[in-house]
Structure formats: structure tokens, C-alpha cells
Structure 1
């Protein structure tokens, strides 16, 4: 029995018997749409149950889903997002009032995409619109509009389903890359510390040896001068004077050597301070990566509709700059958290005159400091200051940097909500 009260049957087939069976792929893939061909849009209960999980998880945010199920009297306060997801998937397969309400809510949520895709008069035209929606980042709306379209064939539905399924693996890939970077920073930090330690020890030994030599020479000179002062004049005075002059030359040479060593010591100390600053920067970068990884790991279940603690609750975020191939993934992530993502590329293809209009529509703005022009960053800051809106400079253009910033924003908002 699951937490949501649904019975789950577990098959206990021996592993050896399963492994001994020859693999025989099915010659015909199961149908993904169960309705008969007709010039109308497909209802949600007419899809194969294999698609219901993908539709609910992709086309409805956890906030929207909870509101829908509350209206149906099926969402209690103790239900997790995963449990509500399971309830909605079960409803989707039933041809009753609850399923009709769920279908109507999906149509209302994505009415703009449904209207735009409704102009497609063939499978090829519909496929072109679907591919454009993926490139533009509006995957939830494009997915629902494509699957329910009258010209959506089994082949096209399978293509869209496969592409949405693969998006769930992208966050895991980013997580592995950040772990490799974190380990590289730790190795680099250890090497820098060992190098500084060796240099400090070598300089310390050199200074001690130099001071000992200078002290010995000074003592020898003093002893010689005392002995000469106490002894009577002798025929060897010229030889002694020559010895004193030699000692003085050696002392001057050692003084010059000491000055050179002190100069070298100052240089090494400067290098040590620079390396120490580099180590601090590496530690800060490592901490930033750790926070981003923590945010990613906490949000990985969100792809499967588990609760990660971040709720944007309809917040509209303007993202300026970044890499075009990541915008679609960011849009899916933000919408999955209950927000709306607006994007401006910082002036590469979108004119900067569009920024004031986008800034007026957003609740807050964010931009990656490593992938935005100086003019675009200055414009965003000025617009946000003028409108009294918050903006976040991100460490990098990666999805993890945006997710970590949203995680921090959510943690900062929790005490304020508790006080309210």
C-alpha cells in the first residue's frame, strides 16, 4: 500500500529465470493514442497510460496541480507533491468528471499554445511547430498542444515523448560536471598549499644560514681587532692589515648577499600572498559549487515531481544574457517550480530597446556575469533600481547557478513568511 492509499502489487519472479529468457523486442510499439481517427483534439483519457505521467509532470507545475486537486477535494495538506502527481495520473485514465476537469485545466493553462498549434493543417506543419516550441523553451505548452492536436500521429507523439523524457537527464549531467570541477579545485588547493610551505621553509633555512655566517665573520673581526690592539707592533703589521681588509671585503660581500636574499624573500612573500589569494578564491569557488550542487541535488527529485522546497508561486523572472542552448532547460526548470521565465539575449539578436518592456513585466531579474555584455548588465541594473525590483548577478551561465540563486532566494523568503 503506497502513501497515497493505492495498492501496489510486487511480482517475485526469480532473477535467474528472467535472465535466462531470450530478449525478443516487440515488433509493434504500443499505441500511444487510443481514440479512433477523427478531426478533433484528443482527450487526456484517450492517451495510453504510459503518457499520463509525462503529461502531468511536464505540463502542470506542482502549484497548479495542487490547486486543481484541491478544487476536486482530492488534495490534503499532508499530501506530498509526489503523491498528488500519482493521484492526477490515476485520474487521467478515467473518463469521468474529474478527468474532464483535469483536461479543461490543461487547456486553460496552455490556451495560447493550443490556439497557435491549432492552425497546423498537417503532421509536418505540427512537427515544425513542436520543434520551434522546443527551441524557444515553451516545452509544457508545446507538448500539450502537440499531443492533443488532431494531426498528431503515433510517430509524432512518440518523438515528442522521447524528447521530453531525455530532458530529465540534463540536470544529472550538469551535476557530474560540477563534481569533477570541485575535485579539481581541491587538488589545486592542496598543491598550492604544499608549494607555499616548501618555499617558506627554504627561505627560513637560507636566512638562518646567512645570519650565522655574518655573526661568525663579525666575531672573527672583533677577535682580530682585540688581539691586534693588545699585541705590540710587529714586522707583520702589513700582513695583518691585509687580512683585516680581506675580512672587511668578505663582510661587505655577505652584506650584499643578505640584501639580495631579503629582496628575494620579499618577492617570494608577494608570490605567497598572491597564491594565498588564489587559494581563497578557489575555496570560494568550491563553496559556490557546493551550494549549487546542493541546490541541484535538492531539486533533482523535482523532475519527478518530488518536493524540493522551492516555490516561486507565479513569480516572473527576467533572465538576460546566457547561452541560447540552455534557455529552454532553464524555462522548464522555472515553470516546474511555479514561475515564469522571460529571456533577453543581452543584445546579440534581441535589440536592447526590448529590455524596458520585459523589465516592466518581471518581478525580478537575473544575469550571468560571465556571459553578458557590460552595457546590457548596466541597463538591467538601472531598470531594476528605477522600478524597485530585485536583481541577481549569477556566478556563471549554467543552469546550476540559476537554481542555486533560486534556492537561496527561497531560504531567505522562509523567515519573512514565518513572521507574516
Structure 2
């Protein structure tokens, strides 16, 4: 019943493959000078390792340049490695091949230059290199562009590393300054608390003095005053004046301490603002861009933990482990990337049910191997395998390690 339909589909597929074979060649047949840049741009280290492993190679101890070297040694002929590289690149760049196969040869070089200018030359270089029967001038120009692209990329890489080292040094200095400001703030807080206690004691003493009755000596009715009684009256007046002077002194000291307390409160608020500014600058250097304000956050919830649309958010990341006091900084890194964020401190005393619910809600799980429990690492690995979730293990629980993983995650 379906023989005619299947036969038509088979003829159409065969015709398409024949057409592509006329325009494009196999990877091992492209010019030798273009194989290295095509493999370097089109085949990642992870993909290269998978290819070598499937061909029976031992890859555990190989450095990235050794993986590239072993692939390049096999792509000169139609070997098993070359065929797998050819199949991988055809799958990755199938859409690009379909777009450029109708272009004439004179438009290929401008296409490659435009792609290099955009910083996305892998597809264009592959499509040009795989084209059959290119003229010598076009091949020479393509090889020259690829060669100079390698120099430019190396220069840009070294400049980026220099900037990274400077940023790391600046982050370290700002972190030390922030810690010094925090110590000063704690010291001022203790001093403020001590002054508050002293003011409270002075107020209690002043109130106690005010409550004491003042002895009032009435003038004697008799016209003559006994000398001993007159001396006693003078002593009482002197004591009363002394108590009044002490009360005035305590009142002045209380007012003085209140002024000091107000100054310390103002200084404390200034230090809090400085600490916040330093923390924002450290976070900006860590994530590579300014920290967004509340008005520029991608959703109206102003925080993923309280967002009513958390269950339907497009991309979410779960962090298991790390320092609990760093959770606000982890969250700000994720939300600055436009991602939803959930956190689990790695404590498994409550069982796996809560952790499993969080894993099912998220698209990717990051798990630092430091500041974490072995039970949490094993559990989250099994849960990610069970629910088919991507998991990334971090070497440390620092902000820079989390930032490096989230920069590769699409929003």
C-alpha cells in the first residue's frame, strides 16, 4: 500500500545526497592547510575525545592539544576517525551547508570575511573548505584568512587573560577592603552598644537621684537660732547643692553620650552603604558586567524565590552545597544572567524528597565538591540521572566557579 510513497521518498533523499556530493567533498579530501583550522573551530575537546574513544583510543591522560594532534594524524585518509569527524561536522553544519550550496564561488570569500568579523567563523570556514573545485586564488585567500584569524585569536586570548588577571587582582583588593570595612563596622557596633549601655546606666542613676527627697529645713519660729542648729542647716544646704551639681553633671554626660550615639549611627549607615557599593563592585567584576538593579530585573517578581511564575520559568538552575552565607551572592549571579535560581545547602537530614522536588523543577544542577557532603553529591547525581537533568560539578564553591558555568548556559 505504501510502496509507491516510500519509493518516492527514497528517490528524493538519494537525489539530495547526489546533489550535495557534486558540490561538497568528504572531510579527508579538503586541502591539508584547511583541515587544522576546521577541526580546531568545529570539533570541541569533548567531541574529539568521544570520537577517539569510539575508535578505541585511550584518552584519559591526553591534554587538549594531544587530542587535536591525534585527530589530525588520522584525517589524511578515509580512516575511522576521519569518517566520524566528517559525519559530526556534517550534522553540526547541515543548515549552513543548505544555505550556501546555491552561492557562486565569488561570494564565498566575502561570506567568510563577514563571519570572521562577527566572531562566528566555524560554519563559514567549514562550508568554504568543503566546497569542491575551488579556484587557486580562492583557496589561497581562504587559507590566508584562516591563518591570520589564528593570529588574531591568539592575540585576543592573551589580552583577555591579562584583563582577567587584572580583574582577579582587583577583586582580591576589593574583597580585602570589604572585609576591613566589615571588621570596622563590627567594632563600631560593639562601641555603640557599650555607649548605649552606659547611657542607660546614667539615665537610671539620674532618675534615682531625682526620686530622692530633698530635705527642706524650715526657719525656726523663735527669733534666735541656736549656733549648732545653724551649722546643721548649712551642711544640709551644701549637700543639696552638691547633689544638684552631680545631677547636672550626669545630665551633661548623658547628652554627650547621646550625641556620640547619633554620630556612630550615622557612621554605621555610611559604612553599610560603602559595604554595599563594594559588594556590588566585587559582584560586577566576578560576573563580568554590572549588577542589575531591581528595576532592570527580567521578571516582575523581583526575586525567583517569591516569583509566582517560578514553576513555569524557562531556565532554572539549582545549586546544591556551597557556603550558606553566600546564597544571596549566588542568587545575584544567576539572576544577573537572567536565570531562575534555587538553593539547597547539601544537608540530607530531611531526606531526598525535598531535594528531588527541586531537581525536577530545574534545568541544570551545579554541585561544588567542596563545602558539601558526600551523601548530597551522590544523591544529586542519582536524581539528575533519574530525571535526565544536566549536572555540573564545581571544583570550588566560589562565585567565579559558578559564574564560569552559568556563562555557558543559555538564558
The alignment's TM-score, normalised by the length of structure 1, stands at 0.49
What is the TM-score of this pair, normalised by structure 2?
A: 0.49
